Structures are given as structure tokens and as C-alpha cells.
Amino acid sequence: MKKVLITGGTGSFGQAFTADLLKNGVERIVIYSRGEHKQEEMARRFINDPKLRFFIGDVRDLDRLSMAMRGIDTVVHAAALKIVPTCEYNPYESVKTNIIGAENVCKAAIGTGVSRAILLSTDKAASPFNCYGACKLVGEKIFLSSNFMSAGATHFSVVRYGNVDGSQGSVMPLFKKWAETKGRLMVTDPRMTRFSISMEKAIALVRAAIAGCQLMPGIWIPKLKSYRIMDLVETLSDLEPIFLGIRPGEKLHETLITEDEARVTEDHGTYYIINGKYGKRLKDGFSYTSGSNHEWLTKDELKAICSSI
């Protein structure tokens, strides 16, 4: 992994992964995204590092993607429309970015001889209830089926997890901001649970999938702890929260592996791999959801995480 392209590279993951790559001997990183202002900010953050290249482009544009991927050996596809209500109200746009965009990334990777390509997916792709999840599920299928299209020349895999702790759009920094300004925390539903994953674990998962995608193509899923949304509320504030009601397309619990997927999932110690070729198969009836997970974060652990973001 010497020459890497990251779609949506100015986002939380893209910036963290870029910092990680620069510490580990990468030769070139291409940041491919639509926002010139965010690219300019990112260039300043990394002091215009000569290893960084910035391409203005949209994943909907196959020709531009192909141009950006020339000479690249590894692609990490992080670009997506991700806000659940936004995708509910704009399904055509979600399809264009999250499905057609994924197809274009795969076509460009095969056409330019990229060695490995990884899709960043979401828990919402498991038993999808909303437009975002449905589109990302199709994106997963496109990436995995591209292994057959490439005839072994380009290797494709997927990583699936929820919002990273402290990342743009996640609940922890939002609640923390409200608490610091002495505002009342607004909760959609008190029954909600979520998985917790740090940026470091997300990067480690992507690195593992890149290293293992040739022998074990599939959907890579980390083993994580969960937390109850009300435990987070009580950790941050002693004020009574305001309950807004569940948003369009929102789930009470995150699901990373459904019962049906479990029949083709293997346990690889630190990770699960759906459609894995080696390892210990899961038992019938197994599913992996934040609501039924037995590894719960304590309030002290939640406080420590919130203090670090």
C-alpha cells in the first residue's frame, strides 16, 4: 500500500486515515472529493505535504475517477450521502452517490489496474430499513461481485461499522456540545442503543481488510462494545432530556450481522467476516446488534470517551 486514493477523503475518516498513512511510509495519497473549501482546509492542516494530491471530483463521474486512479494501488471508498433523513427525502440523490458511485469506483479500479479496493459501509446496510441502508447494501453487493468482474486482478472487500466516536455527524460530540453550553439534550427515543468504535479501531479494521482482501474477500466487521443512549445522557448532563420521537428511517438498535448473514459468517478473533473462507462458523440463530450485545460500556468508559473527543 504505497499509492492510495481516498474518495470522500476530506471527511473525518479520510483525514484520520491520511494522518495514519503519512506516518507509515506511504508514497502518495490522492484525496478525491467535491468540496474545494474542505480540500483547502485539509491541505493547510497537513502543511501542504508533497505526498498529498487533491482531486476535485464526484464519484458519479466515472471519467474523472479513472483519471484520479491512474498509478494508484489501493482505493478506500469513503464518499457517501450518509444522513438518514436526507437520504429519505432525496432518494434519487442517494442512489446516484451510494449505488452508481460505488459502481463507478469499481469500474475505475478495474480499468486502471488498482490492486485493492475497500468500501466503507454502515450498520444500516444490515436488514435495511431506510434508503441510506438499502443503497449501501447494494453498494456492498457491487463491491463483492466486482471480484468476479476483475478476474482476480483487483481485489474488493467491505468494512461495516456504525458512526465513529467523535466523528462528524455522530451523537457524542453533539451531546457534549449541548452539555457544555448547559443546554438540554434532545433525544429521539430513550430505548436507543449504539455500538462504540474509535477512529483507531476503524483504521485498524480498514488496514486489516486491505491486507486480507485477496485471501478473505467479504464484509469485515469489528467486535465492539455497545452503549445505551440514556447512559450517555446521564453521563453528560443532570438535566431532563427532551424527547423528540424517532426520525424518519431511524433504527432503535444498530445491527452489524443479521441472523441470515450469520450462516455465512466466520469468527476470526478480532473480526467477523461475512462470506469468509476460513475460520469458525457462527451458530444458527446468531445475530449481532447493539441492543442484544452483552459487552456494554460503563458510564465511566463513556465519560472517558467523551472527554477525549
**Alpha carbon of residue 200 to chain centroid:** 13
Active site residues: 124
What local confidence, expressed as pLDDT, does residue 226 receive?
Answer: 95
Residues 85 and 132: their CA atoms lie apart, in Å, by: 9
| For range 262-290, the mean pLDDT | 89
Nearest residue to 249 (alpha-carbon basis) of 90, 120, 42, 116: 90
| For range 106-126, the mean pLDDT | 97
DSSP strand E in 106-207: where?
116-122, 155-161, 186-187, 193-196
pTM for the whole thing?
0.93
Please write the tens of the pLDDT for every residue from 1-51: 899 999 999 999 999 999 999 999 899 999 999 999 999 999 999 998 999
Domains and their CATH numbers in the chain: 3-163+197-222 (3.40.50.720)
In this structure, which amino acid lies at residue 176? K
Residues 146 and 152: their CA atoms lie apart, in Å, by: 9
The answer, yes or no, to whether residue 212 has pLDDT greater than 90, is yes
What DSSP string describes 12-26? HHHHHHHHHHHTTT-
The answer, yes or no, to whether residue 180 has pLDDT greater than 80, is no
* Cell numbers that stand for 204 in this block: 485498524
